[in-house]
Amino acid sequence: MSDAFLHARGIEKRYGQTQAVAGVDVDVAQGRLVALLGPSGCGKTTLLRIIAGFEYPDAGDVLLDGRVLNGKTTFVVPEKRHIGMVFQDYALFPHFDVARNIAFGMPSGVNGRKRVDELLELVGLTGLGGRMPHELSGGQQQRVALARTFAAEPALVLLDEPFSNLDPALRTKVRAEVRQIIQALGTTAVFVTHDQEEALSVAETVIVMLEGRIVQSGPPAEIYRRPATRGVAEFLGDANMLEGHVRDGELSFALGLAAAASTHAEGHAHVLVRPENLALTSDGGVQGVVVGREYYGHDQMISVRLGDGTLLRIRAHAGDDVALGATIGVVLRGSAVIVGE
Amino acid sequence: MLLPTAYLVVRVLDEGVSAWEDITSVAARQAVVRTVALATTVTAASVALGVSLGWLTARTDLPLRRMWTVLLALPLAVPSYVGAYTFVAAFGPRGMLQDVLSPLGVATLPEIYGFRGAWLVLTLFTFPYVLLPVRAALHMMDRSFEEAARGLGASRAEAFWRVTLPQLRPAIAAGGVLVALYTLSDFGAVSILRFDSLSRVIYIRYTSFDRGSAAAFALVLVALSLVVVIGESMLRGKARYHATTRHAAAPVVRLGAWKWPAFAFCTSVVIISLVVPLSVIAYWLARAATDDSASWLTREAAWNSVYASGLAALVAVAASLPIALMAVRYPGALASVAEKAAYTGYALPGITIALALVFFAANYAPSLYQTMPLLIFAYTVRFLPQALGSSRTALLQVNPNTEDAARGLGRSRATVFRRVTLPQIVPGLTSGALLVFLTVMKELPVTLLVSPIGFDTLATRVWSATSEGFFARAALPALLLVALSSIPLLVSVLREERA
């Protein structure tokens, strides 16, 4: 038995031929903000809905603060779980105004109007209690949905793709606000996302889920820098995956030699080099030909084919003047990481 | 829902050999041939009218296009027996025309009873069933298919026949099936126009206490309806039709020299299917102004109609809600069986439902025989599909996440239904109830057979007054029925126009 606040073990869920969730264990410590990250269709939303009690798992237990929610003989109905869910489409009640939406789940005995005003202030919507949901912008609806969830004083908040319905310009701002609100209240929260940037920038802990299984969890920097598998490495951002060889504690690959982690077995190895860990040089380095250039404004991505056929993507300064077809040197500027299969 | 048919089968099996003799008799064969002939010709004529008028009003520079759009849909608001009444009251013996012409020495008019009358009346008041889906399909259709065909060297006519028309097939089939089913199950028009199609034969046998053969014939009619429904689903075709992108403006075909012939065509259809019936009603209404008993009878019938239709609407919507909930929220084998069973009401002609319930009540529940509860139950069986359609649509518009969110906020299933689901579906349920209300108002065969003795409604007033030749007495109820039926029709046509 784990001392985690939210503890899910051996969760399985199958829809016909598809194994949506294939034996998942999740532990979340109290007060944490956790991202459940994975591509669409990896089973993360199903897992969230199982925790909330909207789906019945085929197998597995869910405990919250030591209380069994799903067990062999136990199933606690959603309304008795004290778990708040914020839906991707916000699911505001269209026939209620903002204030009544927020007041909907308040425990009896709370001074409704006062609490609604407090929550409106918390989410920065003071004075909008009389609006109907359709009169609000996407970002405002999002904040009403949050306020409504918090009003019910949940022990755990689940958010399903909370930012995906916002337009990109607004998204960064809303992310920061939501993070602030959740942390201000000290609530434990798990949010599901398919956007690695979102997971890395918002969460304190990232859980990566691929094909119904959890493949890695840890702090964002750890996950990004030391992905457990090729799958995680490629999902989390631009990745150059190279083949290498470890001998006597030293890794040799297309870009030369590097120290290998002492734990790595001798022999063949997959090597991850992020594009920002490579640099172009006119002086030395491994020689290659520039075969592609994508200009992004703040920087640019240069594709270089090395003599042995290896294709590398290199993040370069926007100002670097690189001509297609030119021969150029590539050097490793940061670390190369050996990852599992 | 399946009870009526099941009971008819049992009943016919009880009759055994004599039922088989009924079904295979010459009279049965003739009735089947007549019914099939009527359904086929009415459907063919409706398709011809519906497609040509649909194309003219959707795709051409026909003068006053928007006006035709509305006017050409309105014949649907005339129940077939009201249409039949107006034709008999205009062109029949002792009718309006004869009233006017007899001083001039014209003694007889061409016969309007029989096949020709039934065919004409049913075509005139059902062709919008084809027109409306065809026009909707033409509006939705992606013009780029036609333009691609023209670009590949096809003439306009070739493009229409080889590209446009095949794409209209689902719409034509859907409308054609409605027309065919309507014609098969029609009782009012054929009985007023004395055409012995199956439903009239069934009624005559029933009223002459030959109940066994009425039941046998009713089964034959059910079988014919099933053939239509099954045939349609087999013919529907496998190709998927869809618009790749929506284009703002549909191409307008210039009619050129054909403009005025097309205009005359639309005008004459509207005159025959709308102006004639309405002016006949107006003529007899004027004649009825002196007849006090007519208006008194109408008031009672109107109240009965409102009362029975209102109850039926409430019961049908209430009954449809659990089925719709199951189908929308918990789809599965059970839900789909329940839904399919409910939809059989569409394919079951009213007269067979009525007959089955009358038999059933007479034998097993005499206390229900000819009572309001049985009448309401019969209406519910008949019109549950309609209520189910709107309940389903209403529920589909409710975001299931709002229900989950409410439960996550600590509210029980019952509370969530009451406070979150119900308020969101009430508008949809109300319009469903209104639709059922107006349809029940027009219903004839079930009302005739199942209602308590002496229970007159607007529909039965029109029918019985016409049958007895009291054209003046039928005028006011007929006018009320047409006016009521045109309300939902106008609303939906105008909504489509705005879209």
What confidence tens digit (pLDDT) does each residue in B337-371 have? 777 777 766 778 888 888 888 888 888 888 888 88
Confidence class of residue A1 from pLDDT cuts 50, 70 and 90?
A: very low
- Flag if B410 and A54 touch (Cβ within 8 Å): no
Neighbours of B5 (CB within 10 A): 19
Supply B341's token pair: 């069973």
Torsion sign, CA atoms B34, B36, B42, B44: negative
Smallest Cα distance from B428 to chain A, Å: 14
Confidence class of residue B419 from pLDDT cuts 50, 70 and 90?
A: very high
Residues A7-16 pLDDT 10s: 999 999 998 8
Res A3: pLDDT: 66
Q: Which domains does chain B show, CATH number per domain?
A: 3-247+255-498 (1.10.3720.10)
Cβ contact B9:B200 at 8 Å: no
CA atoms within 13 A on the CB side of B437: 16
Res A321: pLDDT: 82
Q: Does residue B227 surpass a pLDDT of 70?
A: yes
Q: Does residue B250 surpass a pLDDT of 70?
A: no
- Flag if A82 and B410 touch (Cβ within 8 Å): yes
Q: Does residue B239 surpass a pLDDT of 60?
A: no
- Flag if B407 and A79 touch (Cβ within 8 Å): yes
Confidence class of residue A40 from pLDDT cuts 50, 70 and 90?
A: confident
Q: Does residue A223 surpass a pLDDT of 80?
A: yes
Q: What is the mean pLDDT of residues B291-313?
A: 83
Helix axis angle, B165-185 relative to B115-126, nearest 10°?
Answer: 130
How many degrees, rounded to 5, is the angle at CA B477 between CA B95 and CA B280?
30
Res B296: pLDDT: 66
CATH 2.102.10.10 assigned to A6-234: no
Cβ contact B194:B360 at 8 Å: no
In this complex, the residue of B410, B420, B424 whose CB is nearest that of residue A79 is B410
Q: What is the mean pLDDT of residues B177-197?
A: 90
Q: State chain B's mean pLDDT as an integer.
A: 84
Residues A314-327 pLDDT 10s: 999 888 888 899 89
Q: What is the mean pLDDT of residues A289-306?
A: 91
Q: Which of B231-245, B296-310, B341-355 is most confident? A: B296-310
- Flag if B406 and A93 touch (Cβ within 8 Å): yes
Instruction: Please name the residues between 271 and 330 in chain A that touch chain B, using a CB distance below 8 Å.
Output: none
Q: Does residue A259 surpass a pLDDT of 80?
A: no
Interface test with B, best of A48, A87, A90, A100 (most B CBs within 10 A): A87
Name the residue of chain B whose CA is nearest to A108's CA: B410
DSSP H stretches of helix in B397-470: 400-408, 413-416, 422-442, 445-450, 458-467
A87 touches B at CB < 8 Å = yes
Res B244: pLDDT: 47
In this complex, the residue of A53, A85, A95 whose CB is nearest that of residue B405 is A85
Confidence class of residue A58 from pLDDT cuts 50, 70 and 90?
A: very high
A239-339: CATH, from 2.20.25.10, 2.40.50.140, 3.50.50.60, 3.40.50.720 = 2.40.50.140
Segment among B220-229, B236-245, B438-447 with least mean pLDDT: B236-245
A15 touches B at CB < 8 Å = no
A149 touches B at CB < 8 Å = yes
Confidence class of residue B118 from pLDDT cuts 50, 70 and 90?
A: very high
Res A222: pLDDT: 92
Res A38: pLDDT: 92
Res B341: pLDDT: 73
Residues A159-191 pLDDT 10s: 999 888 888 888 888 888 888 888 888 899 999
Predicted complex: ipTM over 0.95: no
Res B340: pLDDT: 72
Q: What is the mean pLDDT of residues B378-394?
A: 88
Res B248: pLDDT: 46
Amino acid found at A38: G
Q: Which residue has the tokens 């009896």?
A: A108
Of B343 and A58, the structure prediction assigns the larger pLDDT to A58
Confidence class of residue B403 from pLDDT cuts 50, 70 and 90?
A: very high
DSSP H stretches of helix in A57-205: 98-103, 112-122, 138-151, 168-185, 196-202
Helix axis angle, A138-151 relative to B400-408, nearest 10°?
Answer: 30
- Flag if A105 and B420 touch (Cβ within 8 Å): no
A54 touches B at CB < 8 Å = yes
- Flag if B405 and A78 touch (Cβ within 8 Å): no
Q: What is the mean pLDDT of residues A101-112?
A: 82
- Flag if A105 and B401 touch (Cβ within 8 Å): no
Domain ranges of chain A: 6-234, 239-339
Residue among B180, B153, B173, B239 at smallest CA distance from B43 = B180
- Flag if B407 and A77 touch (Cβ within 8 Å): yes
- Flag if B407 and A78 touch (Cβ within 8 Å): yes
**DSSP state, B275?**
I
A268 touches B at CB < 8 Å = no
Residue B413 CA from chain centroid, whole number: 38
- Distant-in-sequence, close-in-space partners of A191: CB < 8 Å, separation ≥ 6: A33, A34, A35, A36, A158, A159, A160, A161, A162, A202, A203
Per CB-CB distance under 8 Å, the chain B contacts of A145 are 405
Supply A273's token pair: 């080099």
Per CB-CB distance under 8 Å, the chain B contacts of A141 are none
Q: Does residue B295 surpass a pLDDT of 70?
A: no
